[in-house]
Amino acid sequence: MAALLALAMIGRWVIMPALVEEERQLAVSELDRIERSLAQGQQSLLAHTRDWAHWDDSFGFVHDRHEAYSAANFSRDMFTEMNYQAMLFFRADGSLHWAAGIDPDSGRYTSCPGTADDCRWTLRVVTALQSALEQVPEEGMSLVITSPWPALVGVNRILPTSRTGPSAGWLAKVRLLDAQMEATLSEQTGLTILLDTLSMVSTEENTASLPPGSSRLEYTSDGEIAASRFLPSHQSDNMLWLSTRIPRDSFRARLQTFHYGLIWTGGLLLLVIIIVMFLLERMVLAPLRRFSRFTQLLHQSHSDRDIPAALQQRSDEIGTLSRDFQALLTYQRGQAAKLLELSRQDPLTGLANRRLYDERFSEAMCAEPSDNPKLSVLMLDIDHFKLYNDHYGHPTGDVCLMRLAACMEACLGGRGYLVARTGGEEFSALLPGTTLEDAVELGETLRAAILELALPHAASPTAQVVTASIGAATYGDSLSTPSDIMSAADQALYQAKASGRNRVVAHCPQALTRPVT
Ligand SMILES: Nc1nc2c(ncn2[C@@H]2O[C@H](COP(=O)(O)OP(=O)(O)OP(=O)(O)O)[C@@H](O)[C@H]2O)c(=O)[nH]1
C-alpha cells in the first residue's frame, strides 16, 4: 500500500508538474515560432522596399525627374497583389514627396504628392515615420507600428542602382497587420493567430509585470492554452499584442500515457507484492508457523517427536535453524535421560535404587498373568554391618557394600533379575516368573556366593567372614501389592536375623528355611 501511495505521490508531485512545465515550454516555443514567421514577413517586406529604393527610376522620381513614375508603377492592383497598404517617398529633408496606397478605413486607392486631400489618411503614419528616418541604417530598417493601425514597415534610403552618391530620401512600404496577415501567419504556423494593439496606458498593470518579449499563458475553460506575447512597437506608448490558442491535445495524450503507465506500474507493483507475499508465506512464514507449532507441542505435551524431516531437509536458514534445534533437542533429551538414569541409580554401588526398584516392581506386577502370577522377591541384609564399620572403618564398609553389590549383580542380574540397593546395607532382588521355592533357591545361591567372597569380618559374632541374611516372599492371595510382598520379605528377613543370621527365610506358613551350611 505504501509503495502504491508513493507511486501516486510521485505522479502528483513530480511527473505532473514536469508535464505542465513541458506544455508551457511548448506554448512559449509556439509563440517563438509565430514571432519568427512575423520576422520573416518583415524581412521580406524590407527586401522588397530595398529593391524599389535602389532603383534609378525611384531615385529620379524623388528628384522630380520622372513624372510618369507614379502613373506607371502605382495602381490599386499592384498594392492589392503585393499586399502593401501604402508606399511613402520621403525627400532627403524628411518631407513627404509622394504617398500612394489604399486607405484601410475607406478602401479607397489614392496616389498624391503629399498628405493633403485624398492622401490625408497617410498623415499619421507619415508623421510617425518621419521621426525614425534619421536612424535608418544603410541596409534599411524594419519597424512595427501600432498607430494609426498595427502594421509592418520597411524603410530604405533611396539610392541609384549603383548605390553611390547621396541618398535622395527614404522609401517606406507599409503592410497592415490585419486579418489577411493573421491568415498568412496562421497558414504558416498552423495556429490561430490574433494581432492587436494594446495601449501602454490601458495595460499599465499587465505590462509592468510582463516586459516586452515575455509570454503570458492562461488555461481557457474550453481546454486550450491562451498564449500571448507583447512585442515592442516603434511607438513607445503602444505595444503589439500577439496571441494564439494552443490545443492541449498533446498534453492530454501525454497525461493519458502517463496514467496508463501509472496504472500498469501500479498493477505490476501489486503483482510483485502479491508474488513476494506468496513466496514469503510459502518459504518463510508457513515453515516458521510449522516450527512454532512443533515447539508449542513440545512445550505443552513434552512430546518426544523430532522436528519434521521436511523442515530439517531445507537448504535455507530455516533448515539450518531446524537442524540446530534438533541437535540441541537430542542433546537435551540425552542429558535428561542421563539425569533420569542417575536419579534411579545408587551412586555407591551402581545398582538400581529404591525408586527404580519400586517402579519395576509395579510394572512386573501388571505384567504377571492374573490367573497364575509368579513373582517373588529377595531382601538381603548384611549381618552385623555396624560392627564391620566400627571395626574396619566406614570407607572399608563402602568397599564391602560394593563387593556384595557386584556379587548380587553377578548372581541375579546376570539372569535378568533386577537387583537394587533399597536401604543402607539392605539389598532387594525382583524375581519375575519365580516361585517362592525358586526364590529361596536363588537366595541360597546368593548367600553361598557371599560366603565365597570370604570378606573378613573379625568383629562378627556369626562368622569370621561377611555373611548376609535373606528374606523371601512371593505373590499370593494375601500378598497382592508390592508393599505387601516387600513387608512379607522384610518379615522373613527379620526371622532370618532372629533365627541366627546367615540364612534364607521364606515368608509363608510352610516357610522354607534352610539351615546354615
Ligand atoms: N560403610 C557404610 N555403612 C553403612 C552405609 N549405610 C548404612 N551403613 C551402616 O550399616 C549399619 C547398619 O547397622 P544396623 O542396622 O544396626 O544393623 P547391623 O549392625 O548390620 O546388625 P544386624 O542387621 O542386626 O545384623 C549402620 O552402622 C550404618 O551406619 C553405607 O553406605 N556405608
First vs last C-alpha separation in the chain? 97
Among 226, 246, 266, give the residue marking a domain's end: 246
Could you tell me the CA-to-CA distances from 421 to 196, 225, 426 in Å, in that order? 126, 108, 6
Question: For the chain, what is the domain count?
Answer: 2
Q: How far is the CA of 502 from the centre of ligand 1 (A)?
A: 15
In a domain, 308, yes or no: no
Q: Which of 54-58, 210-214, 406-410, 491-495 has the lowest mean pLDDT?
A: 210-214
Q: What is the mean pLDDT of residues 294-309?
A: 84
311 with 322: CB under 8 angstroms? yes
Q: How far is the CA of 385 from the centre of ligand 1 (A)?
A: 5
In a domain, 450, yes or no: yes
Q: Which of 61-65, 87-91, 233-237, 385-389 has the lowest mean pLDDT?
A: 233-237
The per-residue DSSP string of 329-392 comes to HHHHHHHHHHHHHHHTB-TTT-SB-HHHHHHHHHHHHHHS-SSS--EEEEEEEETTHHHHHHHH
Q: How many other β-carbons are positioned within 10 Å of the β-carbon of residue 256?
A: 10
Domain hosting residue 464, numbered range: 354-506
Write out pLDDT tens, residues 5-49. Answer: 888 888 889 988 998 999 999 999 999 999 999 999 999 999 999
pLDDT classification of 298: cutoffs 50, 70, 90? confident
User: Which residues have C-beta within 8 Å of that of residue 412, sequence separation ≥ 6?
Assistant: 378, 419, 429, 431, 442, 446
Q: How far is the CA of 59 from the centre of ligand 1 (A)?
A: 159
Q: How far is the CA of 418 from the centre of ligand 1 (A)?
A: 22
Residue 506 sits at φ, ψ, to 5 deg, of -100, 145
The answer to whether residue 79 scores a pLDDT higher than 90 is yes
181 with 195: CB under 8 angstroms? yes
Distance of CA 342 to the CA centre of its chain: 56
The answer to whether residue 292 scores a pLDDT higher than 50 is yes
Residues 41 and 185 in one domain: yes
User: Which residues have C-beta within 8 Å of that of residue 475, sequence separation ≥ 6?
Assistant: 365, 368, 373, 374, 375, 376, 485
Q: What percent of the chain has pLDDT over 70?
A: 95
In a domain, 492, yes or no: yes
* H/E segment holding residue 25: helix 16-53
The reported pLDDT for the residue numbered 200 is: 56
Please give the number of the atom of ligand 1 that sits closest to the Cα of 396. 1
**What is the CB < 6 Å shell around ligand 1?**
348, 381-387, 389, 394, 397-398, 401, 424-425, 497
Q: How far is the CA of 382 from the centre of ligand 1 (A)?
A: 8
Which of 346, 389, 460, when mutated, tests ligand 1's pocket best, judged by the most ligand atoms within 8 Å of its CB?
A: 389
Among 246, 278, 308, give the residue marking a domain's end: 246
pLDDT classification of 517: cutoffs 50, 70, 90? very low
Give the neighbor-by-neighbor strand order of the sheet with 86-91.
109-112, 96-102, 86-91, 169-176, 151-158, 141-145
Please give the number of the atom of ligand 1 that sits closest to the Cα of 390. 27
The reported pLDDT for the residue numbered 374 is: 87
Which of 349, 354, 385, 421, when mutated, tests ligand 1's pocket best, judged by the most ligand atoms within 8 Å of its CB?
A: 385
The reported pLDDT for the residue numbered 210 is: 59
Average pLDDT, whole number, for the chain? 90
Q: What is the mean pLDDT of residues 153-164?
A: 94
Please give the number of the atom of ligand 1 that sits closest to the Cα of 382. 20
Residue ID of nearest Cα to ligand 1 atom 8? 424
Task: Round to whole Å and give the CA distance between 179 and 187.
Answer: 12
Among 192, 219, 246, give the residue marking a domain's end: 246
Q: 398-430 burial by CB neighbour count: b if 16+ within 10 A, else e?
A: eebbeebbbbbbebbbeeebbbbbbeebbbbbb
In a domain, 146, yes or no: yes
Task: Round to whole Å and give the CA distance between 478 and 227.
Answer: 121
Residue ID of nearest Cα to ligand 1 atom 1? 397
Residue ID of nearest Cα to ligand 1 atom 16? 386
In a domain, 95, yes or no: yes
The reported pLDDT for the residue numbered 421 is: 97
Residue ID of nearest Cα to ligand 1 atom 11? 386
In a domain, 312, yes or no: no
Residues 370 and 240 in one domain: no
The answer to whether residue 512 scores a pLDDT higher than 80 is no
Per DSSP, the three-state class of 159 is coil
Per DSSP, the three-state class of 178 is coil
Q: Is 374 or 101 the better-scoring residue by pLDDT?
A: 101
In a domain, 344, yes or no: no
Q: Is 369 or 133 the better-scoring residue by pLDDT?
A: 133
Please give the number of the atom of ligand 1 that sits closest to the Cα of 389. 1
The reported pLDDT for the residue numbered 465 is: 97
Enter the pTM of the model: 0.54
Residues 229 and 362 in one domain: no
Task: Round to whole Å and give the CA distance between 422 and 345.
Answer: 11
pLDDT classification of 223: cutoffs 50, 70, 90? confident
Q: 210-239 burial by CB neighbour count: b if 16+ within 10 A, else e?
A: beeeebbbeeeeeebbbbbbbbebbbeebb
Domain of 367, CATH number, reads 3.30.70.270
Q: Which of 175-179, 186-190, 265-269, 511-515 has the lowest mean pLDDT?
A: 511-515
Q: How far is the CA of 386 from the centre of ligand 1 (A)?
A: 4
The reported pLDDT for the residue numbered 514 is: 45
Q: What is the mean pLDDT of residues 272-280?
A: 94
Please give the number of the atom of ligand 1 that sits closest to the Cα of 395. 1
Please give the number of the atom of ligand 1 that sits closest to the Cα of 424. 6
Task: Round to whole Å and give the CA distance between 299 and 458.
Answer: 58
Write out pLDDT tens, residues 449-499. Answer: 999 999 999 999 999 999 999 999 998 868 889 999 999 999 999 999 999
In a domain, 365, yes or no: yes
Q: 100-116 burial by CB neighbour count: b if 16+ within 10 A, else e?
A: bbbbbeeeebbbbebbe
Residue ID of nearest Cα to ligand 1 atom 5? 424
Domain of 234, CATH number, reads 3.30.450.220
Residues in the chain: 517
Task: Round to whole Å and give the CA distance between 155 and 255.
Answer: 48
The answer to whether residue 515 scores a pLDDT higher than 60 is no
Residues 231 and 363 in one domain: no
Query: What is the grid cell recorded at 377?
Result: 522377591
Q: Which of 44-53, 147-156, 209-218, 412-421 has the lowest mean pLDDT?
A: 209-218
Residue ID of nearest Cα to ligand 1 atom 3? 397
Residues 79 and 204 in one domain: yes
